[in-house]
Amino acid sequence: MSYNLRDLPIKIYADGADKASMLDLYTNPLIKGLTTNPTLMKKAGISNYESFAKDILQTIVDKPISFEVFSDDFPEMYKQALKISSWQQNVYVKIPIKNTKNESSLSLIKELSDQGVKLNVTAIMTLRQVEELLDALNKKTPSVVSVFAGRIADTGINPMGIMYSAKNLLVDHPNSELLWASVREVYNIFQAFQSECDIVTVPHDILNKAKLMVGKDLDELSLDTVKMFYNDATSAGFSL
């Protein structure tokens, strides 16, 4: 296996809502697209959703970028999706697989996909959800199927089998891409590649860690770790 991120045959998307980081990562050839969501935007202190998005889109013009609807009402979600989609050609609209009332979004997804709206369907956790989603997606319309592998792993389940099976389900959907979402650590990027995912979306802090750590010699890393422990003990003034 290659330990050079640039050699991995998987698209790496940057996941975040910090403007400066987004614009910096956009210029990095390693980064093939960007994603964000309302939770990340709230953490970044963004108060005006549309203003932030349109500001970002002045610079990010030729890589896919996903913005999510935030209504819980399907007619309003539909209106928001059309508005977000209209902002720019490279925009994908993130639609959750269900709303907070546990009502399926599939009818809405089908309507939007049939109208040619590029979708990033999010918060998917099961193969059944993937199967039902593919029945709703128009095969001619580009789409992203975002399976939250990291959250699946948080439950104690290895997500790799699910992701590999999901990829097999997409075989007859040439315009749909499988995305490994909710990356927790650098190794998840390689797991996404091993699972034959098309895309892995990675938080900014983990991208920065990956740039520093991937391919690092393990003997060198061992020495760095020993030095860290020694220096921290010394600076803390520990004695026995």
8 touches 193 (CB < 8 A): yes
Mean pLDDT for the chain? 96
For residue 145, report the phi and psi dihedrals to the nearest 5 degrees. -105, 105
Lowest mean pLDDT among 1-5, 48-52, 64-68: 1-5
What is the Cα 94 distance to its own chain's centre? 11
pLDDT in tens, 56-108: 999 999 999 999 999 999 999 999 999 999 999 999 999 999 999 999 999 99
> What local confidence, expressed as pLDDT, does residue 202 receive?
98
Q: Is residue 30 part of a domain?
A: yes
**Beta carbons within 10 angstroms of residue 135's beta carbon:** 9
Instruction: Quickly list DSSP for 168-200.
Output: HHGGG-TTEEEEE----STHHHHHHHHTT-SEE
> What local confidence, expressed as pLDDT, does residue 20 receive?
96
Q: Is residue 11 part of a domain?
A: yes
- Segment 224-240 mean pLDDT: 97
CATH number assigned to the domain comprising residue 53: 3.20.20.70
Residue 215: pLDDT over 60: yes
Q: Is residue 240 part of a domain?
A: no
Q: Which domain holds residue 157?
A: 5-215
Q: Is residue 223 part of a domain?
A: no
For residue 206, report the phi and psi dihedrals to the nearest 5 degrees. -75, -35
Q: Is residue 90 part of a domain?
A: yes
- Segment 23-43 mean pLDDT: 96
> What local confidence, expressed as pLDDT, does residue 6 receive?
86
pLDDT in tens, 95-153: 999 999 999 999 999 999 999 999 999 999 999 999 999 999 999 999 999 999 999 99
> What local confidence, expressed as pLDDT, does residue 2 receive?
53
> What local confidence, expressed as pLDDT, does residue 156 receive?
98
> What local confidence, expressed as pLDDT, does residue 214 receive?
95
- Segment 222-228 mean pLDDT: 98
- Segment 16-38 mean pLDDT: 96
Q: Is residue 228 part of a domain?
A: no
Q: Is residue 58 part of a domain?
A: yes
Q: Is residue 226 part of a domain?
A: no
Banded pLDDT at 217 (limits 50, 70, 90): very high
Domains contained in the chain, number: 1
Tokens representing residue 65 in the block: 């970028």
> What local confidence, expressed as pLDDT, does residue 201 receive?
98
